[in-house]
Structure 1
Amino acid sequence: MISVFQTYLKLGFFHIFNQQAYDHLVFLLALCAPYVLADWRRVVALVTSFTVGHSLTLALATLGFVHYNAQVIETLIPITILLTCVLNIRQASREESRRLDRNSLRDRPIVLALPNLLAAVFGLIHGLGFSSYLRELLGRQSRPVLELLAFNLGVELGQLLIVLLILLAGFTVLQVFGVGRRDWILATSSAAAGIAVVLLLGV
């Protein structure tokens, strides 16, 4: 059992860095773009909301309780990225007059209903995307609870590493190279939106 758990833990972890999951990486970039290391509580709240969403649908779809159209999910995933980028760009534009600095988001409540709700809803969609890959690995196993748990945990560990790297990259760009926070938000969100458009056109 331990070897099976470890195997699927590694599969989940490395799947995040697989070419098949780069749309998930782009979404995480968009999700974290407005924040820096000082905002880690806010980021944890958002990522936790996203995790709850995709863990739920990953489990339900893998266990056969939920059925979906793969083409629809492939279309919806880049749309979630685009919507997140649009929200980021609107936020940066609103904050321009107030000179957005590294403390402006940190002083807000840790849990804001709308952003966390959106992250959870978008997570539901991304979880379905993960499930298609996991079902291919599992083959005909009808109730792969251990494998599902290990894979999901591996995905989360990989996701946390990626979020940390994004925040560290933002810290380096803002603090070491002196780039304005608004410019960082606009640049990363625009890049993520561009990739999402390419994904959407390729569906």
Structure 2
Amino acid sequence: MSEFLTYFQLAWGHVLDIKGFDHVLFLIALALPYGFKDWKRLLLLVTIFTIGQTLALLLSFFGIVIIKLLLVEFLIPITILITALFNLFSVGKSYKGNSINLIGIVTLFFGIIHGLEFSIYFKSIIKGSLSDKIKPLFEFALGIEVAQILIVLVVLIFSYILQNFFRFSKRDFTLVFSSFVIGVVLPIIIESAIWN
């Protein structure tokens, strides 16, 4: 049980790390257009993101995907920017009739990119054969999923409060906070070491 808690807590620390706020920022951008009534769709997207991260760790363990950390650190804010821009351009449009296929595929790809960043550290702390790494990997994935659901729940509660008590429209809420996310990630992209 203590080993489970170790990797579960490691996942929480990874998601909720204040210094590495990119994970939280992506989840905020992902959740902004949704409300409590959309919980199934949002839970599916969060799970797809977790699957992408877990897949990235597996691909990294097998040596199938090897990518430079500098490139991954550049692509992560790009994924956040794309998600926030998507919110701006699709604000006010209904998601009910839309297929989740495109958004799901993009979310899976973004999960893979985010997972590649952590794979370098994760491989360094888990030693042994591949079979020794599978159980900790899934314990870590469960921790990631629970932490992400917590963040999304906080966004939904915040959205609900602003819309129902302060009379923010869903459109304004999505526009304002997507713009905020863009304002946070643009300087990260501009100042990226990849341009040097």
Please, what TM-score do these two structures have when normalized by structure 2?
A: 0.88
1:52 counterpart residue number: 51
Aligned to 2:38: 39
Secondary structure of the structure 1 residue equivalent to 2:11: helix
In the TM superposition, residue 63 of structure 1 has moved relative to its aligned partner by 4.9
Is the Cα–Cα contact under 8 Å of residues 72 and 116 in structure 2 kept in the other structure?
yes
Partner of residue 127, structure 1? 115
Write out aligned runs for 1:154-193 (5 A): 154-193=143-182
1:150 equivalent to 2:139? Answer yes
* Distance in structure 1 (CA, Å) of the matches to 2:69 and 2:19: 14
CA distance in 1, matches of 2:28, 2:61: 26
Deviations 1:42-63 (A, max 9, x none): 2122222222212101222145
Q: Is the 8 A contact 2:73 2:117 kept in 1?
A: yes
Against the structure 1 CA distance between its residues 191 and 38, is the aligned structure 2 distance closer, same or farther, given a 3 Å change threshold?
same
Partner of 1:86: 85
The answer (yes or no) to whether the contact 2:54–2:137 under 8 Å persists in 1 is no
Q: Once the two structures are superposed, what CA deviation does each residue of 1:153-195 show, in whole Å capped at 9, x if it has no partner?
A: 1111111111111111111111111101111011111111111
Alpha-carbon RMSD: 1.8
| Offset of residue 130 of structure 1 | 2.1
Q: Paired residue for 1:112?
A: 100
Aligned length: 190
Give the C-alpha shift of residue 20 in structure 1. Answer: 4.3
2:50/2:141 contact within 8 Å kept: no
Instruction: Find the counterpart in structure 2 of residue 67 from structure 1.
Output: 66
Q: Which consecutive residues of structure 1, in runs of 5 or more, have no partner in the other structure? A: none
Runs (4+) of structure 1 exceeding 6 A deviation are none
1:76-107 per-residue CA deviation (whole Å, 9 max, x = no partner) reads 00001111111110012xx3xxxx6xxx44x3
**Does the Cα contact within 8 Å between 2:46 and 2:145 map onto a contact in 1?**
no
Matched, 1:26 2:15: no
Matching residue's letter, 1:129:
E
2:43·2:149 contact (CA, 8 Å) conserved in 1? no
The superposition leaves residues 123-162 of structure 1 with CA deviations (integer Å, 9 ceiling, x where unpaired) of 1111111212323433x44432222222221111111111
Structure 1 window deviating more from structure 2 (184-193 vs 8-17): it is: 8-17
Q: What SS class does the counterpart of residue 21 from structure 1 fall into?
A: coil
Structure 2 gap segments, 5+ residues each: none
